[in-house]
Structure 1
Amino acid sequence: MDKNYSLYYIKRNVIRITLLIVILCLVLGYFSIMERTSGTIRVVFPPAATSSNMYPSSKIKINCSTWRKPLHNVSALSSQITLAPDRFLYPGLIFGPNNQIIGLFQSIYVAIRLNRTLVVPRFGTHYTEGEIQSVPDYQRIDVDHLCSFVSCISIEGFHKKCNGSMDVVFQAMLSKMRDVKKFQRDTKMHIIMNEEYKLSDYFVGNSLQSSEKRTNKANIPFYPCCNNKTSFNWLSSNQQVIRRTFNTTASCALFASAYQPLTLMSKGQIAIPLDKNYTKVRQIKDDRLYMAIINSVRRPKCITQLADAYIDANIGTDEFVAVHWRYDTDDWLRVFRNQKKYELCEVITNITSEDVARAIINNLPLLHDKNAMHSRNISAAVSVYIATPPSLKEFKLEIFDHLENLDSRIKKVPLDLDVYLSKSVFNKCWNSTGWVSLPDILSLIEMEIMRKSKYFFYSYESTWSDNIRPLRWTRSEGKIQRLFEASILDLSKTVMKKRIKRNRLLHLKK
C-alpha cells in the first residue's frame, strides 16, 4: 500500500506541475499577444551607448511630450479654409503607408470642393509587417498643422455628430468589402447594408459619365466614379464635376478607397502654402490648391525632431546627399511584375551597385563645381545618406564601398539610424507613448532626412519618393527655390547601358 500510495502521490504531483507549466505558458503567450496588439511592442536595438564618446551627440534634445496623443480638440483650431460644420467626409485609406498619404491628399481636396469638414482618419501598417494594424493619426501626420489649414474633426467628434452611423458612401474606385468593414471598425460607426449585399466582395458602380446615382436595396446611396472594368478611372478635379458626382444632402460621408481617383498629381510640382489673402476657395485653381494641401500634410513633430537631431549629430550640415533606392524584390518588383511592367523590372535587375555609385558621382553638382566646393569648404568630404528597404542592406553597403573607391571626398554618414535610435531617450519615448510600428518610425525619419538634404536622388515610380519631392524647396531672398533632385534609376540606367556597350566592344576586340 505504501509503495502504491507513493507512486500515486508522485504521479499526481507530476500532473500538477505539468498543468502549472502549461498554464504559465498560456499566460505568457497571452501577455505577449496583448503587448503586440496594444502597440507596445518590445524593440530590440543594439546596446545603448555607455559613454558620450561612443556615439555622436546632438545639441537638439528629444522631447517625449511631442510623441504623445493629442487632445483631439481639433475642431477648436482656427483653420485657413473653413468648411461646413454640419457636413463631414471620412477618408477611407487603403494600400501601403505612402499610398494612404496620397489618399489623404485627395480626400482633403474632395472635402474642400464639397464643403465638408474633414474627419482626421486612422491609418494602417504595411502588409510586410504581418497582420495589418490600425495606426492613430498622430503617428503619421502633424494633426495640428493639417487642421490649421482646413476644418477638421476627430473620429470621436464625427461619431458623436453622426450618431454612430455613416449615411452615404462616395465610391472613388472599386472598393473591397473587407476595406469598408475596416473603415467601420476604425470609426466604430455603422453603414447599414442588407445581408444580400454583404455577400458581394466589391461595391461596383456605373461609369463616371453616368449622371444617375446607384442605390442598393438598403437604400444607402453610393456615388460611383469608376467603371467596373478597371479600378483606376480618374475623376476630374473640376469642382463642378465633383459636386455633381457626389451631389447629396446627407451629412456623414465615407470616401471609400480614396487612393488616387483624381487627375491631380504632385510630380514635378512644389507644395507651397496658400497666401493669407486666399479667402475665396472656389477661385483657387485646382493644381494650386492641391499643392497647398500637400504642404499641409507634414510628418509628426517628434519625427522632425528626431531627423534634426540625427543630422545634427552625424552630419552637421545641410550640404549632404540623400539617395533613395526603392527597388527590392520582396515588394516593389513583385507589384510591378503583377502590373506586367517587365521591361522596367528587367532594367532594374541588370543595374549593379557600382552603376548606382557611378550615377551619383557623375551627376552630383557639388563634385564638379570647383567654386561651389571652395565656397562651401567641402573639399575634404561630402556626406551621403542612402535609404533602402531592409532587404537591400547589403546592396546599400556595396554602393557605399564603390562611392568611396571612386571619389575619396565621399563619406558614408558614420552612424546608422537604427543604431542612433538605440539611445535610451528614444527607447523611453517609444515605450511610454504607445506607438504601433517601429518600421513606420524609421521610414518617417528617413523621409525627413531626404527632405532636408541639399541633393536628392529619388526613386522613379515610388510613392515614398513622390511624397518627399514636393516639400523640397526653400525660400531665399523672397524667392522660392527648388532643391536639387534627379532620378537615380534613370541615371543608373544610363551608366548600365554604357557599361554593357563597353563590355561588348571589349569582347569584340578579343
Structure 2
Amino acid sequence: MPSKAFSRKQCFRLNLLQTARYYQETYTSTEKREWLVLLFIIGVLFLFRVISSSEFMTGNSDVTNHAAKKKTGGLESVTRAECNLKSVEKFKRNVYEGERNSSSVIYGISQRARIPLPVVKIPVFRMDANRYIVPILEGGANNQLFEFRETVYVAIKLNRTLVIPRFFKHFTDSQEKKTHYIHPGHRVHLLAVCKLISCVTLDDFQRTCNGKLDAIFSTANQPTEIFTQAADDCRLYTDFSVHKIWGAMIDVELEKGAMSRKRKFSITNARAVQAYLTMQVGRSDGDPPLITQIRSSSPRKLRSDDITESFKSQERCVAYFKPLFNILLPGYNKRGKKIHISTTEAIENHPISDEAKLVIEIIKHTQHPSYIRNIAINFIASVTQDQPLVTVHWRFNKGDYKKRCKGMLLRNRKGPPGKVKFCTRTLSMTAVDIANSIEEKILAVRLENISNSSITLKHIYIASPPSESDTVNTIRDILKNKKGWIVHSSEEIAQFLSRKYRLCKFLKPHINDIISTIEMEVCSRGIVYLRSPRSTWSTNVHITRIIQSVNGTFPNLDRDII
C-alpha cells in the first residue's frame, strides 16, 4: 500500500481527475495502480449510494418497501436513507408545524405578490389560479380529514385553487402541548391531492394575499353564531387569553345573492382563525371581511347544486369555516324516489350519482401517505404471517366520548333519544361484554357469509384510544383464554416501529398521531371490520374499505360492534 493516505473528507473533495494527476506525480507505478483501484471502488460505492437515494426520492413510496422484507415479515430495520419522509419540498415544516402564534409572513406589503405556481402544473381539475379557498379545520384527526375533503369538493365547484391547510393533533394526545400542529404529509398523500386539483402551499397563499383574508364562507344557520366557538376551541389555535375579549363584536357584511345586510361576529373567534392561518381577518382595502353565509331550513346543510349560487362572492382570498358534513348530494331512497343525502350515504347509494362519483375520486386522492400504508402492510405480515385479520375499532374512551355521554345523562338525559339510548348502552358495557360482542359478530359473519371453509380466523386487531389500553388488554386475555384468539393492538405497532423504524427520526415528535393513522390503515385491510357507530374514525375506515376494494377484504360484511 502507498506510504501516504488521505482522509475520507479529502477524497470526496478532490475530483477523480485532480487526484489521479497528483498521485501520478507522487507515487511509483505500483502505488499508482493500488490508488486507482481504491479510487475506483470508492467511486462505484458513492455512485451506487447516489442512485439508490435518487430512486427512493423519486419512487412511489415514502419508506422503501423491498420484496425481501415482505417475505420475512418486515423484521429488518430500515436504513437511515429509507426514513426520509417524502413530503413535497414546497410544504415547509416550519410553516405547517410551527408554533401556534408563529408566522413566516411579513405583513405590510404594499401590493399583492405574484400569483404562485401550483404544486402540480397540470392536475385533473385546473382551477382559477387567482382565486383561493382554505379550510378552517377543527375537531379530531378524522373530522379534519372529512373537512379537508369537503373543501376539495367545494373548491372544484367554485373553480378556486385549494390551499393546503394546517392539521393539528387531538387534544387527548399527550404530545399535543409540545407539538400542536402536524405536517399534512403525515395525514394525506399530498402529491395525490395536488394531482387531482390545483393547490398551493399555505405560505404561498399568505404571501400572495398580503397576509389578509378577503372573505369567510360559512353554512351556519344563525348569523350571530358564525364564530361563537367555546373558549376551549379557541385555544386549539392560539394561546391568548380569550376571557378578556369574549363577547366583543364587530360589524361584518353577509351576502346571499343580491341581498346583503350587516351582522356581528365575535372578535375572539376571528382572532382564533387569524392565529390558525397566521393571517389578518380583513379585506385588502382595510374593511371588515365579507361573510358569505347560507340560510337554509336545515342548519348547516347545503345541496350540491346550490354551492355555486350560494358562494358567488368574487373575493380573491377566502376561508371556508366549519366545512364538516355541510353538503348534501343527490341520491335515492328505498322506494327509488330522488332525494338529497349525506356524502357518506351517497357513496353506498344505488344507482350512484355523478356527484357521488366525484366525491369518490376525491377520497381516492386523499388517502394516507405511502409510508403509512407500507408500515401497515409490513406490520400485518409480521404479526399474522399472511393469515386473515379481523379488525375492530373501540372508540368509547373514558376521557372523551364516555365523559360527554355522562354529562348528557347528568343533564336529565337532554339530547336526541337515539343518542341517549346509545350512551346508556355504551356506558354499561364492560370488557367482558365487548369481548363477547366481538366474538359473536365474527362468528355470525363467518356462518352467514364467508363460505370458504379454508379461511381460518384467529387473528384480531383492536384499535382504540391509548387511554383504553387496560380495557384492550383485558379483552385480549378473555378472547385468548376463551377460544384461543390472538389479539393485537397499538402496543405491538409501537414495538414494531421501535424495532424496524428506529432510525426514522420524523416519527418521534408525532408518534401517537402516526400510530392512530397506521391503525386506520390496518383496519382498512381487515377481512372483516367491526366498527364503532357514531365515530368518524370508524366511518372513514369503512369508506376507505369500500373504495379501495383491497383483495381479501369484505367491506359488505362490516358490522357495528354495538
TM over 0.5: yes
CA distance in 1, matches of 2:543, 2:254: 34
Match of 1:313 among 365, 382, 391: 382
Supply the AA of the counterpart residue of 2:513: D
For CA contacts below 8 A with separation 6 or more, give which structure has more relative contact order: 1
| Alpha-carbon distance in 2 for matches of 1:176, 1:259 | 16
What is the Cα deviation at residue 487 of structure 1? Answer: 0.1
Shift of 1:290: 2.1
Aligned equivalent of 1:72:
90
**2:435 matches 1:360:** no
Q: Aligned with 2:391: secondary structure?
A: strand
- 1:451 maps to 524
| Corresponding residue for residue 134 of structure 1 | 181
Cα distance in 1, alignment partners of residues 249 and 322 from structure 2: 14
- Contact 2:528–2:555 (8 Å) recurs in 1: no
Q: 1:390 maps to what in 2? A: 466
- Structure 1 pair 318–238 and aligned structure 2 pair: CA distance change class (3 A): farther
Secondary structure class of the residue paired with 1:71: coil
- Which position in structure 1 is the counterpart of 2:427? 349
1:56-455, aligned counterparts within 5 Å? 57-58=74-75, 64-72=82-90, 75-129=119-173, 130-131=176-177, 133-173=180-220, 174-176=226-228, 200=248, 211-212=259-260, 214=262, 218-225=287-294, 233-239=299-305, 241-263=306-328, 265-267=342-344, 270=347, 285-317=354-386, 319-338=388-407, 340=415, 341-364=419-442, 367-368=446-447, 372=451, 374-376=453-455, 378=456, 382-408=458-484, 410-413=485-488, 416-423=492-499, 425-429=500-504, 431=505, 433=506, 436-455=509-528
How many residues end up aligned between the 2 structures?
405
1:365-423 deviation line (CA, Å, top 9, x unaligned): 565379845433x2xx5111111112211211222222233323x22239711121222
RMSD after superposition: 4.1
Does the 8 A contact of 2:135 with 2:321 survive in 1?
A: yes
**Matched residues in 1 for 2:236 and 2:216: separation?**
11
1:170–1:256 CA contact under 8 A, matched in 2: yes
Q: 1:313 to 1:79 in 2, by over 3 A?
A: same
| Structure 1 position 485, deviation (Å) | 0.7
Whole-angstrom CA distance in 2 between matches of 1:183 and 1:84:
32
2:496 maps to a residue whose letter is Y
Note closer, same or farther for the CA distance 1:204–1:102 as it changes in structure 2 (3 Å cut).
farther
Measured against aligned partners, the alpha-carbon deviations of 1:3-33 in whole angstroms (never above 9, x if no partner) come to xxxxxxxxxxxxxxxxxxxxxxxxxxxxxxx
Q: Is the 8 A contact 1:125 1:133 kept in 2?
A: yes
Contact 1:205 1:225 in 2 (8 A): no
Post-superposition offset of 1:336 = 3.8
Q: Distance in 1 between matches of 2:308 and 2:88?
A: 33
Q: TM-score, normalised by structure 2?
A: 0.63
Alpha-carbon contact 2:431-2:475 (below 8 Å) kept: yes
Letter in 2 for 1:253: V
1:182-238 CA-to-partner distances (Å, cap 9, x unmatched) read 9998xxxxxxxxxxx9963799997989953657793421112368xx9x8123232
**1:462 matches 2:538:** no
- Rounded to whole Å, the distance in 2 between the matches of 1:370 and 1:441 is 34
CA 406–372 in structure 1, closer or farther in 2 if over 3 Å, else same: farther
5+ residue gaps, structure 2? 1-68, 92-117, 221-225, 239-244, 265-285, 330-341, 409-414
Q: Quick check: 1:172–1:255 contact (8 Å CA) kept in 2?
A: no
| C-alpha distance in 2 between matches for 1:397 and 1:296 | 36
The amino acid of 1:250's aligned partner reads E
Secondary structure of the structure 2 residue equivalent to 1:321: strand
Name stretches of at least 5 consecutive residues in structure 1 with no aligned partner: 1-51, 186-196, 273-283, 490-510
TM-aligned CA distance change 1:402 to 1:82, over 3 Å: same
1:324–1:457 Cα contact (<8 Å) kept? yes
Report if aligned partners of 2:441, 2:561 keep a CA contact under 8 Å in 1.
no
TM-fit CA distance, 1:438: 1.9
Q: Which amino acid aligns with 2:460?
A: V
Q: In the superposition, relative to structure 1, how do residues 77 and 399 fare at CA in structure 2: closer, same or farther (>3 Å)?
A: farther
**DSSP 3-state at the match of 1:175:** coil
**Residue 91 to residue 470, structure 1, CA distance change in 2 (3 Å):** same
CA contact (8 A) 1:474 1:481 kept: no
The alpha-carbon distance between structure 1 residues 477 and 395, as it changes in their structure 2 partners (threshold 3 A), is closer
The whole-number CA distance in structure 2 between the counterparts of 1:127 and 1:293 is 27
Change (3 A) 1:481 1:233: same
Q: 1:221 to 1:366 in 2, by over 3 A?
A: closer
Distance 2:263 2:302 in 1: 23
Find the aligned partners of 2:235 and 2:82 in 1 and give their Cα distance: 30
How high is the sequence identity, in percent, across the aligned residues? Answer: 22
